Amino acid sequence: MARRSRPNDEPESIRAALVDLLTNFAAELKRSNLRAKVIALVPAFHKLRDLGCSLIPKAEAASARDRIIAYFRRYPRRVIDGDELMVVSGIAEWARRVRELRVQFGWLIYSGVTFHDIAEDAEAVENAQEMVSIEAALGVHPYKIKPDQYVLMRDEEDRRAAFRWNVLNEVRRKKVSVTEKIIEYFRRNVGEEITGEELKYLAKDKKEWARRVRELRTEHGWPIVTKNSGREDLAVGVYVLEEDRQAYEHDRAIPDPVRVAVLQRDGFKCVECGWNRSMLSRDDPRKMLELHHRQHHKDRGENTVDNLVTLCNVHHDKIHRRSSLH
Ligand SMILES: [Zn+2]
Ligand SMILES: [Zn+2]
């Protein structure tokens, strides 16, 4: 029954055909047979869908998924309604395509649901900062983004996401806690830019993923960095495990704003050797910057800017080896 437009139909000719169908429908409306009315309206539904599809030329995007991402890319960092995606995709299953785009194909598309997960944990200073960044990037507070709205946060495909997809599913199936899944996934993707959408998928949509990531960083000392915790170069909503090592026990539990203030004061480099991230190289054992308490935490050293210094991992290890001698 579905009579689809020919692929090369121009929007204008589809529109005209739709108007014809609706004009003819006037006669149908006057009749009493309900089923006849419904059946007569079906072609108009298809035409309307075709019209939506035709707005993005076929040469630019051949499939429904292509049209969805093409549409997002026209309006990066803008809040898009699910209904708009329904129009341009022309399919009922558009939400599934969006999920494929963000989880399997590595587009940094955030849904309102994910923004809400992050916002829910916003009493935590780290995520409150995240909220501020999101608001600055989008011009709208994340709380105001509805569950069926979406945002393309970065207009650039992450081609490695496809490689992560298998690992993501393997870890997701494990019968372990959300925290364990998250850290395993990070450790198998050291240095990779992981999105909140991946972590949410990993957690089987449990809201707790945002809080668990924060705990892994601040309480367990895993160097999971974000734009707001010292890696300005990252996009909002991206998480990276910098190295597969946990901070020394006494160097944990440093609030992100303090961390950032220390890094800024020290110019984002090791105070001993001047190493910074731009000097990262395969043959150099210096891989990351860490914070160290001048007066150790266990000796009542405080988590304050004055009591912390920035060190590369090599000098940090040196200091700890020295202090463990006595
Ligand atoms: Zn150093
Ligand atoms: Zn230390």
Q: What is the pLDDT of residues 9-63, one digit of tens each?
A: 799 999 999 999 999 999 988 987 999 999 999 999 999 999 999 999 999 999 9
Tokens coding 57: 């030329």
User: Residue 143: how many CA atoms within 13 Å on its side-chain side?
Assistant: 8
How far is the centre of ligand 1, averaged over its atoms, from the C-alpha of 271 (Å)? 7
Residue with tokens 């999101």: 134
Residue 79 belongs to a domain: no
**Residue 269 CB neighbours (<10 A):** 18
Tokens coding 73: 């890319």
Residue 253: which of 107, 134, 125, 162 has the closest Cα? Answer: 125
Residue 323 belongs to a domain: yes
Residue 34: which domain range? 11-54
How far is the centre of ligand 2, averaged over its atoms, from the C-alpha of 296 (Å)? 8
Give the ligand at the shortest distance from the Cα of 301: 2
Quick one: how far is CA 271 from the chain centroid? Answer: 33
Q: Return the DSSP state at 272.
A: T
How far is the centre of ligand 1, averaged over its atoms, from the C-alpha of 264 (Å)? 16
Residue 74 belongs to a domain: no
Give the ligand at the shortest distance from the Cα of 315: 1
Task: Convert the pLDDT of each residue in 180-217 to its tens digit.
Answer: 999 999 999 999 999 888 999 999 988 899 889 988 98
Residue 33 belongs to a domain: yes
Residue 312 belongs to a domain: yes
Give the ligand at the shortest distance from the Cα of 249: 2
Residue 50 belongs to a domain: yes
- Asked whether the predicted pLDDT for residue 8 surpasses 60, the reply is no
Residues 188 and 72: their CA atoms lie apart, in Å, by: 30
How far is the centre of ligand 1, averaged over its atoms, from the C-alpha of 287 (Å)? 10
Instruction: Report CA dihedral (86, 130, 198, 224) to the nearest 10 degrees.
Output: 170
Residue 319 belongs to a domain: yes
**How distant, in Å, are the alpha carbons of 118, 137, 257 from that of 210?**
6, 19, 18
Query: Domain total for the chain?
Result: 2
pTM above 0.85, yes or no: no
Residues 232 and 278: their CA atoms lie apart, in Å, by: 13
Residue 264 belongs to a domain: yes
